[in-house]
Every structure is written in C-alpha cells, then in structure tokens.
A and B are shown apart, each in its own frame.
Chain A
C-alpha cells in the first residue's frame, strides 16, 4: 500500500513553516541561511511527492534544478556573509541595516 500524498505534503508544510519562522525570528545570518535551505528542501520534498503522485519525472527534474540553484545561492550568500563578518565583526542581520533612507 502506497503512502498517501498528504503525508508528504504535511511534512513539507511543517518543514517550510519551521524555515519561515526561522528566517523571520533569528538574527544570525548563518541561521537564517540554514532556515532558507530548510524552506527550499520543503519545496523539493513537495515537488518529489507530486512527481510520484503523477507518475512522471517533471517534479524530480525541477527539484534538481532547485538544488543546483540553492547550491549556487549558498556560495554567493556565504561569501557575502563572510565579507560582512570580516568587515563588521558581526553576523547579526539587524546590524547590517545600512541600505535605507
């Protein structure tokens, strides 16, 4: 008996919520980053689950794309975080609030 799709989607929604709350409440840039990864993986899980439900590979292909993009994003994002940390000795995102009026 196959596991129903709703199981996967509930797990995916929980993961996404955890990620979202992490992004909104945490101040450390690295933790925020990890929370974003959590969101991305939640979406990947949903995609793969839908792929299985429909019986084709479209969702899986999209999940691979999202992983590649996430990897690239991590490279750029971590580089920025490291640069900011070196300059300001802080990885707190609320400290880096210069881009405003």
Chain B
C-alpha cells in the first residue's frame, strides 16, 4: 500500500484547487472541506505508517516513482516520493497537527471576508510541506521548500490591509530568500560533485567510505554542508536570519501555529537531519550547526523575556526551541533533534492556538499587560495552555521534559560541557519566560479592558487533542537509546550509541528538572505570587527591558548596517547614476545628433542654382580626379 503515498500530498492539493475556485460559493463549508481533506490525508498517512512498521527495520525505505520530471543530458531528476522513517515522522506531524489546526481555524477565522482563500492557502501550504518532506531528491525538496516560503508569505500577509502585516510578509520572504539562495548553490554543488541529486544515490555513496577522488578537493563537503545549513538558518529562523519570525506573528494565529511553530520552520531541522552525512564528513559544519543552535537558543530565550505581545513571546520561544534542535544536530544527536521537533510541534502549536483562543476571547487583544486572571473566564484555554507551558519548561512527565533532557544529556555526555551549561541557561530562561507569560495572562489581577469569553468547541476540541499530545508525547521516546521514536529513526539517522562519558543519566535528569523548576518558580515569584510589584520592577530595569523587547536591537542593527546603506545606494543609483549618467549618455547622444543636424541642414537652401553649382563642382572634381589618375 506504500505505493499510494502520493495520495497524502494530493488531498490538500485538491482542497487548494477547490477552495481557490469555489471557496466563495462554499462559504462556511470551505473550512470543513479543507479540514476533512487534511484528516483524510492524516488517515492515509497512518495507514502508510502501519505498512512501514510492518517491514523489517533495514528495509523500511520505499521510493514511489511518479514520473520523469527533468531529463537534460546527464541531468536527470524524477518526481519521486520517498517513504522512510524520517519522512513518515514528518508526514505524521504535518498531517496530524495540520489537521487539528485546520479544524481550529474553522472557528478562529469565522466571519473573515476571505475565509475560503485562507483555507486554500492553508491546504496549499500542507501540500508543499508534504512535498518537501517526501521528496526523494534535492530539487523536489527545493520545490517544496520554496512553496512553503510562498505560502508563508501569502499567509503572513493574509490581512494585507494592515501595513504591518504586508511589510512583515515581505520581510519574511526576503530574509528567507537569503538562505534559500545559498541552499540552491549548495544543491548545485552537490550535483557537480556527485553527479546526482537523488537522496538514495547521494547519501549511500557518501555513507560508504568515500573514495579518495570523491573527497577532492578537500573542504568541498564543508562548503556544501554550510550552504545547505544557510538555507536551514533562513527557514528555521536561526541567528543571524531570525528577524523575520517575530514579525511573522502579524499573520492569523492558526498560521503562526502551523507554519511558524509546528511545521515550516522545522524544515531546516529536517534538512540537516536528512543530509547529516555531509555534515559528518565535514566536521567543521557540525561545529557551526552546534554554535548557531546554541547561540540562538540562549539569545531567543532571553529576548522572549522582554516581549509584551503574547504571540511574540511564543515566536521567540519557537526560535529558541529550534536552536535547541540545531544544538542536538550539532551534537550528532539527530534522533533527539527530531524527537524535540515532534514534541515541540505538539506543545508549541497548542500554545499558539491557546494564545489565539485568548485573543479570540478578548477581541484581538494580544498585549500581556492588558490580560490577567483569564483563568476564570477561559478555564479550558487556561488548562491546555498550562499543559503546554509545563511541557516547554521541561517539567516531568510532560513531553518537553524528555526531549529537552535528552539534548542536554547529549551535550554533557559528548564532552561539550560549556554547551551544556549554556543550554541549561537557555532552558532556565525558557521556563522563566513561559511562567511569566502564564502568570501575566491567566493569573493575578484582572487588567482586561474587554469582557473575556471562552472559545467555541470547534476551537477547544483541537486544543484538547494537542494537549494530550503535549502531555504524553514524551512516551514516544522515553530513552535516548531505546526510545520508540529513536529506534524507529535509527535506519535513517544511525544508531544512538550508549553514552560513555559525562554525568550519569539520573544526575543529568535531576539537574534539568531543578533548572526547569527554578525557572518556573522564579517566574511565579515575580509575576504570580504578588509579593513583587512587577510593574515597578519593569520600570526600574527599563533599559534592560527595552533591550530584550527589541530582541537585542538586532533589527535596529540590521536597519543601520544593511538597510540604510542599501537604501542610500539605491537612491544614489536611481537619482544620481541613472538620472545623470545613464540618461545623460542617452540624451547626450540625442543632443549630439540634433546639433549636427541643425548645422548640416543649412546646406539645403532650396535654391536650384546652388544645387546646380554643386553638381558642377562635383563633376569637375570627378573629372580632375579621373584625369590626373590616368
């Protein structure tokens, strides 16, 4: 039945086509149709997963050839779908979480004038995302990669009447394009080096001990790995290309949950995991991944502390969690990265949707300062958000605890003690910012200016299901070595070795839990206990608060260092160079001809006798010339 894998992306594509052309006429049913198709896609994916598990471990790879896509000389690319444990894990996340978010959006987007178009875009996104994860070669992956970028642009700018949304969409598109361009260069290099873009060829060729001439020139794999990683940096919003993600929160909340938390931004993690062979050959590239992930995890966790917009807190939190994933990839703990990806998809989608529920209940208010005591008006939202918060802060037995703990353990046990300490600090800040969020929004004094109300069941039921995932998702991979997900992924990502160094499992777990609880407790003490006047504290630390709220002023630095000079250069080229030099050349040529003509036309007197004289002079000259030459 694995042959039917094409149905999984085909269903959302069909939904896109129907909603694009008939979305207006379908009215309310547009959302139902899109959700049903996603649920059907999820069901098909479940069947595929069952088929895949039934195969013996080493044979869990199936390539569905669809058609020959490009064939030019030795350059052949087929539209093939690859079913293996890694791609199936991603498919389950995309279809499962995606379907729940679709259902939620039925309620959230109700009354929007472009209701049908929203679901068309959402379905198109799922199609491209599934293409991305199911692709069997780099080029098809790149198609999905660019496609999700396009959908991200369309959906961030869905409410394009608001200038902030329109410019955020542009920013996201342009920023990720920087990474994508590098990635395309990387793909071209892969083809030049290995003569194929097919994953099976490329990765198997490399995993065998590569022949010496395949390794020439040295460093080529470092370049390829870094180029691919640059694409991942852009898409997964890592430092230094992270600036688009907080602004992307201008989009509707289901979009933030689906694209900017659960699926699209994790494409970079998937890419690095998929092509980890390049990174291992290079070595240097692995270190780069580790450092970028570590820096991002800590940076974004601190920046999240300063945000007042509930969605921006979660956006920085997403960046930080993605940093954790890249940290794991850099530590060669690929399965741990994917494990965090899966659990993060659950709890971050849950928290975004809960935040959407809060905004829905408060008529669009997203400012934490104007919330408080929402637990009375919104008990369900509060409960599920609490589950998500416990999961992300790493309190056992929720999902985030297991996944994050494994990454921290991997850092310690591979001897990266410094990375381990920094990651612990990031984990501490994670617990702190999420505690701050939850105590400001749901507990304490009621600072709301509007009457809050709980969301309808069409929104709370998906929340409940995601909360189940966030609470029990950890069961997928209880142990870094023998966990269910880890052994499932082993054929693709390699076996996880028993740790030999570092602290013992138990003491590492203890440290993680203590750090997480310390963060939560500090958050409670400052924002929840009522013993500290956090408003006064905020005023006292206003410069620090502003520093964090502006994300360490990275945007302002970019504006000063990159945007302003670029604009000045453009202005120079447009108003000085083009206007005077280019146009000057063109106009100058015209003026020269006009001037010559003005002088030359005086020859034409119109007097017949002048012409006759000219004839005579010419004839005599000719005569003299011929006569003397003879």
Q: A interface vs B, CB < 8 Å?
A: 20, 23-25, 27, 32, 93-94, 96-101
Per a CB cutoff under 8 Å, which of B601, B602, B607, B613 touches A97? B607
Docked pose: A94 CA to B601 CA in angstroms: 18
The 7 closest A-B pairs by CB, nearest first: A100-B606, A97-B606, A101-B601, A100-B604, A93-B608, A97-B607, A99-B606
Which residue of chain A has the shortest Cβ distance to B598 in the bound complex? A101
Total interface residues in chain B, CB < 8 Å:
11
A94-B609 in contact (CB<8A): yes
Docked pose: A98 CA to B607 CA in angstroms: 8
Distance in angstroms from A99 CB to nearest chain B CB is 5
Residues of chain A lying within 8 A (CB to CB) of residue B605: 97, 100
- Cβ of B616 < 8 Å from any Cβ of A? yes
Docked pose: A100 CA to B604 CA in angstroms: 5
Q: B interface vs A, CB < 8 Å?
A: 601-602, 604-609, 612-613, 616
Which residue of chain B has the shortest Cβ distance to A26 in the bound complex? B609
Docked pose: A30 CA to B605 CA in angstroms: 21
B606-A20 in contact (CB<8A): no
Residues of chain A lying within 8 A (CB to CB) of residue B601: 101
A96-B608 contact given A101-B601, A101-B602, CB 8 Å threshold: yes
* Secondary structure class of chain B's binding surface, majority of residues: helix
**A-B residue pairs in contact (CB < 8 Å), sample of 9:** A20-B616, A23-B609, A24-B616, A27-B609, A94-B608, A97-B608, A99-B606, A100-B604, A101-B601
B608-A24 in contact (CB<8A): no
B613-A93 in contact (CB<8A): no
Which residue of chain A has the shortest Cβ distance to B607 in the bound complex? A97
Residues of chain A lying within 8 A (CB to CB) of residue B608: 32, 93-94, 96-97
Residues of chain B lying within 8 A (CB to CB) of residue A20: 616
Residues of chain A lying within 8 A (CB to CB) of residue B604: 99-101
Docked pose: A100 CA to B600 CA in angstroms: 12
Distance in angstroms from A61 CB to nearest chain B CB is 24
Docked pose: A32 CA to B607 CA in angstroms: 13
Docked pose: A35 CA to B608 CA in angstroms: 14
- Extra 12 A-B pairs, beta carbons < 8 Å, given A97-B607, A100-B605: A23-B609, A23-B612, A24-B612, A24-B616, A93-B607, A94-B607, A94-B608, A97-B606, A99-B604, A100-B606, A101-B601, A101-B602
Residues of chain A lying within 8 A (CB to CB) of residue B612: 23-24
Distance in angstroms from B593 CB to nearest chain A CB is 15
Docked pose: A97 CA to B602 CA in angstroms: 13
Docked pose: A24 CA to B610 CA in angstroms: 8
Distance in angstroms from A83 CB to nearest chain B CB is 15
Residues of chain B lying within 8 A (CB to CB) of residue A27: 609
Docked pose: A47 CA to B561 CA in angstroms: 90
Docked pose: A32 CA to B616 CA in angstroms: 15
Docked pose: A100 CA to B606 CA in angstroms: 5
Docked pose: A25 CA to B606 CA in angstroms: 16
Distance in angstroms from A21 CB to nearest chain B CB is 10
Docked pose: A100 CA to B611 CA in angstroms: 12
